[in-house]
């Protein structure tokens, strides 16, 4: 059974600070890792994808992957009130079939306090 675990929160962070979101996954064969942001009543929106161990930076966002520890995180620097949303961690266990679905965590609700 593939599982992706996230702390549901809410995680409250002051404006301008660094928000740190964490995710663990159970299947060691997982090969693709994604962070989606979802505003209330809206669809998931891709923030970052990461495939290799280490850090990947895109603007204020940094994704970190540690496959040995089965751990992926998202850092948001200089947090803004507009970053307040639910952040979904998702993984793909690529089976070679070509159409593997995403396995999602239940999401972390992030609140940026002005």
Residues that bind another protein (CB under 8 A): 31-32, 34, 36, 42-46, 49, 51, 88, 90, 92, 94, 97-107
- How many CB atoms within 10 Å of residue 15? 13
User: Is 38 in contact with 45 (CB distance < 8 Å)?
Assistant: yes
Closer Cβ to another protein, 83 or 87, answer by number = 87
Closer Cβ to another protein, 85 or 90, answer by number = 90
Closer Cβ to another protein, 43 or 69, answer by number = 43
Q: How far is the CB of 31 from another protein (least distance, A)?
A: 5
For residue 12, the Cα-to-chain-centroid distance in whole angstroms is: 16
Length of the chain: 114
Q: How far is the CB of 12 from another protein (least distance, A)?
A: 21
Distance between CA 11 and CA 3 in Å, rounded? 21
Q: How far is the CB of 16 from another protein (least distance, A)?
A: 30
Closer Cβ to another protein, 60 or 100, answer by number = 100
Distance between CA 114 and CA 111 in Å, rounded? 10
């Amino acid at each position: 059974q593939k599982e992706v675990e996230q702390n549901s929160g809410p995680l409250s962070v002051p404006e301008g600070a660094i928000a740190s979101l964490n995710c663990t996954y159970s299947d060691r064969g997982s090969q693709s890792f994604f962070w989606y942001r979802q505003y209330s009543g809206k669809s998931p929106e891709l923030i970052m994808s990461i495939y290799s161990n280490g850090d990947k930076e895109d603007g204020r966002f940094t994704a970190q992957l540690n496959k040995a520890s089965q751990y992926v995180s998202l850092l948001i620097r200089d947090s803004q009130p507009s970053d307040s949303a639910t952040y979904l961690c998702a993984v793909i266990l690529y089976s070679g079939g070509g159409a593997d679905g995403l396995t999602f965590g239940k999401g972390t609700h992030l609140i940026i306090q002005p």
